[in-house]
Structure 1
Amino acid sequence: MKLFKPLYERAMKWSQHPKAEPLLAVLSFVEAIIFPVMPEVMLGPMVLARPHRWARFASVSLVFSVIGALVGYALGHYAFEWVRPLLDSLGWLERIDVQVAELREIASQSPWSAFWLLVVAGFLPIPLKIFTWASGIVGVPLLPFVASMIVGRGKRVYLLAGVIRIAGPKAEAALHRWIEWIGWAMLGVLAIAIVYLKFIR
């Protein structure tokens, strides 16, 4: 079943839309809070369509991802208590509390311990919102949090945009050919991470 190739082809069409840049900004902002689709899915085709604007597109995605990350942080910090009864009814609360305590201990050792943890986590193909909410729940200091979001998301969007700018049509051909494998591989990594966190740790 082909799932990612049609999405990629649709993203290519959106990338040539007159309002592609605002759409990228909205996607980057919402993905950092709740949306499951990473903005790189749209950023890549946009750079392919207009390679001379690669740095501008990457900057737009980064800025709005950081703004969205701050909203996700606030929701994690203030809304977690509201959903605790639901998590408790599902039997998840005790495990979550243990993991939050572990993360809080790491953050309390040094404000910048959390920075490096989040920067390393940024290499994983996992939606940004997981880290923004978790940071808010734990109470990671804002300065290291914002710095980690800039470095973590920045390296991804600028690296992707820069590589596509240099490779040009060859990158588009490779993406078009391998997008299904890449998409399913990313889902596989995410599934393994969820199973590990839920059943093995």
Structure 2
Amino acid sequence: MGFLNWLQNTDQGIFLFILSFANAIVLPVGPEVAFVPILMVSHEKFLSYAMYCVVGNVLGLMLIYTVSYFWSQTFMDRYISQEKIEKGVDVFSRYGPWALVIASMFPVFPYRILVIISGCLKQRAITVFSFLLLGKTLRFFGYGFLIAKLGESVTKYLR
């Protein structure tokens, strides 16, 4: 019962922020791994916790964008295969920055690669960040809303 007590009696916002920031840069596991259980025990805080996740993730992606913007050729040659670059450029030529919204809403899409490619293609920063913010807001607030509405019944079922 110690873990549940820790989840209920501790503000998890900073933890979610750090996890989301790390996920945007290098961590392969999404913040949902912690976000969902935390909201299950304190679903009344979903607005603030979702905001921590959105801000942490978008700030981490801003860092990736900035690095790829200024060191694009080195970054692409070293860390991204030619096949992924071609796919990313194809996605941007088809869907424009809306590709960032779709990719950032679902954890299975390689949104980091699209952010790197958008930096390498020198897309406008305000456009990239606006679309990322939209996608991440829909993602985390959508999860939060569902858990806040369904969390009580799921928690009762699990007990």
TM range (shorter): 0.7 to 0.9
1:147 aligns with 2:116: no
Tell me which residue corresponds to 2:99. Answer: 117
The code of the aligned residue for 1:159 comes to: G
The Cα shift of 1:141 comes to 1.5
**Percent identity for Structure 1 against Structure 2:** 21
Distance 2:145 2:88 in 1: 36
The Cα shift of 1:151 comes to 1.1
What root-mean-square deviation, in Å, do the aligned CA atoms of Structure 1 and Structure 2 show? 3.0
Deviations 1:143-189 (A, max 9, x none): 22111111111111001111111112333578x7xxxxxxxxxxxxx
In the alignment of these two chains, the number of paired residues is 155
Residues 56/132 of structure 1: CA separation in 2 closer, same or farther (3 Å cut): same
Higher Cα radius of gyration:
1
From 54, 72, 90, the equivalent of 1:62 is 54
The Cα shift of 1:66 comes to 1.3
From 45, 61, 74, the equivalent of 2:37 is 45
Does the Cα contact within 8 Å between 2:103 and 2:111 map onto a contact in 1? Answer: no
The code of the aligned residue for 1:139 comes to: K
Secondary structure at 2:117 match in 1:
helix
| TM-score, structure 1 as length reference | 0.63
Runs of 4 or more above 6 Å deviation: 11-14
From 130, 139, 144, the equivalent of 1:156 is 139
From 7, 13, 18, the equivalent of 1:21 is 13
Residues 50/81 of structure 1: CA separation in 2 closer, same or farther (3 Å cut): same
Does the Cα contact within 8 Å between 1:29 and 1:67 map onto a contact in 2? Answer: yes
The code of the aligned residue for 1:118 comes to: L
From 132, 135, 146, the equivalent of 2:115 is 132
Distance 1:69 1:87 in 2: 16
The Cα shift of 1:100 comes to 5.5
Unaligned runs of 5+ in 2: none
Residues 84/65 of structure 1: CA separation in 2 closer, same or farther (3 Å cut): closer
Unaligned runs of 5+ in 1: 1-10, 108-112, 177-201
